[in-house]
Amino acid sequence: MIDLHTHSTHSDGLLQPAALVERAAARGVKVLALTDHDETAGLAEARARAAELGIVFVNGVEISATWDGHSVHVVGLNVDPGNPDLAAGLEWLRAGRRRRAESIAAELDKVGIGGSLEGALAHAANPALLGRTHFARYLVERGYASDVAAVFRRYLVAGKPGYVPHQWADLEQAVGWITAAGGIAVLAHPGRYRLDEAKRDALFAAFKQAGGLGVEVVTGSHHADQYPLYARCAQRFGLLASCGSDFHGPEEGRRELGALPQLPAGCTPVWTRW
Ligand code: AMP
Ligand code: MN
Ligand code: MN
Ligand code: MN
């Protein structure tokens, strides 16, 4: 049981790293990566608890990137969080998040939703890493939507109140920082990006060109009918296959820890590299 994509309170997850590891272990996970957005501060705590519980821990991160105007995520696995290139890149991304958060709050102000910067910060255990999920939790708290998923249908996305376009890292930067830190760059949940087939193939080609080595095939963000589709993409582009729940918390799950199916036959798993 392998889960290579999870979040803690150091980004927009709801469990502290140690509690996340405990939940994963209790649900039968044997190999776990913590992959907080643009942040590695939770890795030491998670690694220590994983050692106590006898599960294999993989240092991870999920880097926010922009490719051809689309927001895409790149997971880094087995990264050295002390690498200066990676650390500086992530710090730059977090600073951009803070500026974006101020703009999001200003946009929400325009539709009569006040106090959202403070409100989002109250939901962020790590004030250095502010994301839309923290705003979403504030909007739920204030009764603007019934849950976080409902917020993302009505706010914070293109064309809706509270949306702010943002320039993240280039694909080349995101992959480069991961590679510099000794890690394997994995394209996260490709099925979530709204791309037609030609654009999707162009993204895969650009990712590969930038030095990307893997792609998430089985993820909590994919429907079951997308697993074989992205398994074929992995094979066509010569990419290793990864799997991860993208777990954020017990109450906000798309997918629970330790509940993913096996990779489809024919995939070369990313963990064959370690
Ligand atoms: P950010 O990186 O701050 O732009 O926020 C992206 C995060 O918002 C993702 O990692 C998810 O945790 C969350 N998110 C985005 N879209 C949705 C959605 N439709 N439903 C629930 N959470 C979402
Ligand atoms: Mn998230
Ligand atoms: Mn993601
Ligand atoms: Mn994620």
What's at 4, amino acid-wise?
A: L
pLDDT band at 259 (very low <50, low <70, confident <90, very high): very high
Question: pLDDT tens-digit profile of 170-195?
Answer: 999 999 999 999 999 999 999 999 99
HSE-CB for 157 with a 13 A CA cutoff: 10
Instruction: Indicate yes or no: pTM above 0.95.
Output: yes
Cβ–ligand 1 distance for 148 under 6 Å, the answer yes
Asked if 261 and 218 touch (Cβ cutoff 8 Å), the reply is yes
Cβ–ligand 1 distance for 137 under 6 Å, the answer no
* pLDDT attached to residue 1: 95
Task: Tell me how long the chain is.
Answer: 274
What residues have CB less than 8 Å from 70, skipping those under 6 apart? 193, 194, 195, 203
Ligand 2 centroid from CA 12, angstroms: 5
Nearest to 46 by CA among 194, 231, 247: 247
User: Of all residues in the chain, what percent carry a pLDDT higher than 70?
Assistant: 100
User: What residues does 37 pair with on adjacent strands?
Assistant: 62
Cβ–ligand 1 distance for 13 under 6 Å, the answer no
User: What residues does 61 pair with on adjacent strands?
Assistant: 76
pLDDT band at 254 (very low <50, low <70, confident <90, very high): confident
* pLDDT attached to residue 31: 98
Q: What is the mean pLDDT of the chain?
A: 97
- DSSP state string for 6-23: B--TTTT-SS-HHHHHHH
Q: Which of 70, 121, 152, 222 for a ligand 1 pocket mutation test, highest count of atoms within 8 Å of Cβ?
A: 152
Q: Is the pLDDT of residue 269 over 80?
A: yes
Cα 140 from Cα 158, distance rounded (Å) = 19
Ligand 1 atom nearest to 64, measured from its CA:
2
User: Of all residues in the chain, what percent carry a pLDDT higher than 90?
Assistant: 98
Closest ligand, as measured to the CA of 6: 4
Cβ–ligand 1 distance for 12 under 6 Å, the answer yes
* pLDDT attached to residue 61: 99
* pLDDT attached to residue 248: 97
Q: Is the pLDDT of residue 253 over 90?
A: no
Residue nearest to atom 21 of ligand 1 (CA): 149
